[in-house]
Chains A and B, each alone.
Chain A
Amino acid sequence: AQTVTQSQPEMSVQEAETVTLSCTYDTSENNYYLFWYKQPPSRQMILVIRQEAYKQQNATENRFSVNFQKAAKSFSLKISDSQLGDTAMYFCAFMNFNKFYFGSGTKLNVKP
């Protein structure tokens, strides 16, 4: 069974600083996808970044980047130059065989 663990229920960061959210997962599969989703107070899920497991290069999307360590089954999200609009719940997700599994989420507060 696939499991996704986010060990940080809540984090805070000052505006313009950098923060890293942790995620680990457990799977016996070799091919899969990993995601970070953002859920702001509106509850709309928004894709932040995606990583294919077969790619060694870490994915980057503007201020968002990941540190993908396949052997360690770790997939952390780094947010640079944090903005007030980044305040939200962040969910790490694993996808394989047509199914998505989500972690329990990390609530990120960006302080002015």
Chain B
Amino acid sequence: GAVVSQHPSRVICKSGTSVKIECRSLDFQATTMFWYRQFPKKSLMLMATSNEGSKATYEQGVEKDKFLINHASLTLSTLTVTSAHPEDSSFYICSARPRDRGPYEQYFGPGTRLTVT
């Protein structure tokens, strides 16, 4: 149980275009989902926290107009990178917190590698 999927696993897009990444909790309902960014050989950096039905909370330094997060249902959150640039290339990971679990529970997706050319 507690499986989180991400789609796509890899995506290449051209500079200036937008790309959407989906994060789904497959066998549980997630009231909260987190989006992280991981640079090569670096740690995970929390980008934003999204709660179902409400606006995402962005970490300091993260452009909310560039990284649009939508948490439309208890099983789906999306991250849209708008007007992508090569510096947006990175590994993006989501995690989901089950609805009826403690605050420390989170399950990670397998990640999405974004390459902007």
Contact = CB atoms under 8 A, between A and B. Distances in A.
Interface of A: 33, 35, 42-46, 50, 52, 91, 95, 98-105
B111 interface: yes
Interface of B: 32, 34, 41-46, 49, 91, 93, 95, 103-104, 106, 108, 110-111
B104 A43 contact: no
A87 B43 CA distance: 17
A45 B45 CA distance: 14
A23 to B, nearest CB: 12
Given A95-B103, A98-B32, A44 B108 contact: yes
CB-CB nearest 9 A-B residue pairs: A45-B108, A33-B104, A102-B43, A102-B44, A104-B43, A43-B111, A44-B110, A95-B104, A105-B43
A26 to B, nearest CB: 15
A91 B103 contact: no
A24 to B, nearest CB: 14
Contacts of B110: 42-44
